Structure 1
Amino acid sequence: MLWDGLLLLGLLAGVLGVRWLALWVARLGWGLGIRLYEQVGQAAKDERIRSVVSAARLRFPRLMYWTEARLTPRRFAGLPLTLIVISAVYLLGLFAGLIEELVEADELVRLDTAVNAMLAPFRTDTTVAALAWFTGLGGSVALTAVVVVTTALVWGLRHAYMIPGLWATLIGSQITIYVTKRVLDRERPEFLFDIAATSPSFPSGHAAGAMAVYGFVAYIVARHLVTARRRFELVYWTAVLVAMIGFSRMLLTLHYLSDVVAGFVVGAFWLLVGFVMAEQLRLRQHTGHGRAH
Structure 2
Amino acid sequence: MAKAPGLETNLIFLATLVVALILVRWLAWLSLKSTNHLIAKASSVATTGRPGELFRSTRANLGKMFPRTMALIEARLTPRKFTGLALTLMVLAAVYIAALLGGLIDELREAEELVRMDEGINDALAVFRTDEIVHVFAFITEWANASAVVAVAAVTTGLLLALRHGHLVMPLWVVVLGSQMTTYAGKYGFGRERPEFLTEIIAVTPSFPSGHATSAIAVYGFIAYVLSREAVTVRRRFEIVFWSAVLIVLIGFSRMLLSLHYTSDVVAGFLVGGFWLLVGFALAELIRSRRSAPGHPDGSNSRNQGP
Category of TM-score, reference length = shorter chain: over 0.9
1:118-157: CA deviation from partner (whole Å, max 9, x where unpaired): 1011111011000001110011111111110011101111
My pick for the range that moved more, 213-222 or 26-35, is 26-35
Structure 1 position 289 matched with structure 2 position 297: yes
Matches within 5 A, 1:67-146: 67-146=73-152
What is the DSSP-based 3-state SS (H/G/I as helix, E as strand, rest coil) of the residue aligned with 1:199?
A: coil
Equivalent residue, structure 1, for 2:204: 198
CA distance in 2, matches of 1:230, 1:261: 28
* Percent of residue pairs bearing the same amino acid type: 48
Which letter does structure 2 place at the counterpart of 1:130? V
- Structure 1 14/47 Cα, relative in aligned 2: closer, same or farther at 3 Å? closer
CA distance in 2, matches of 1:244, 1:292: 41
Which letter does structure 2 place at the counterpart of 1:269? F
Which letter does structure 2 place at the counterpart of 1:259? D
Matches within 5 A, 1:207-246: 207-246=213-252
Equivalent residue, structure 2, for 1:155: 161
Does structure 1 conserve the Cα–Cα contact (< 8 Å) formed by 2:183 and 2:210? yes
What is the DSSP-based 3-state SS (H/G/I as helix, E as strand, rest coil) of the residue aligned with 1:81?
A: helix
Normalising to structure 1: TM-score of the pair? 0.96
Residue 47 of structure 1 deviates from its aligned partner by 4.1
What CA RMSD, in Å, does the superposition of the two structures yield over aligned residues? 1.6
Structure 1 position 30 matched with structure 2 position 36: yes
Structure 1 residue runs without a partner (length 5+): none
CA distance in 2, matches of 1:89, 1:99: 15
CA distance in 2, matches of 1:284, 1:80: 15
Does structure 2 conserve the Cα–Cα contact (< 8 Å) formed by 1:154 and 1:160? yes
Residue 175 of structure 1 deviates from its aligned partner by 0.5
What is the DSSP-based 3-state SS (H/G/I as helix, E as strand, rest coil) of the residue aligned with 1:282?
A: helix
Residue 74 of structure 1 deviates from its aligned partner by 0.9
Residue 160 of structure 1 deviates from its aligned partner by 1.0
Does structure 1 conserve the Cα–Cα contact (< 8 Å) formed by 2:171 and 2:281? yes
Normalising to structure 2: TM-score of the pair? 0.92
Does structure 2 conserve the Cα–Cα contact (< 8 Å) formed by 1:44 and 1:50? no
Which letter does structure 2 place at the counterpart of 1:57? G
Structure 2 residue runs without a partner (length 5+): 1-6, 302-307
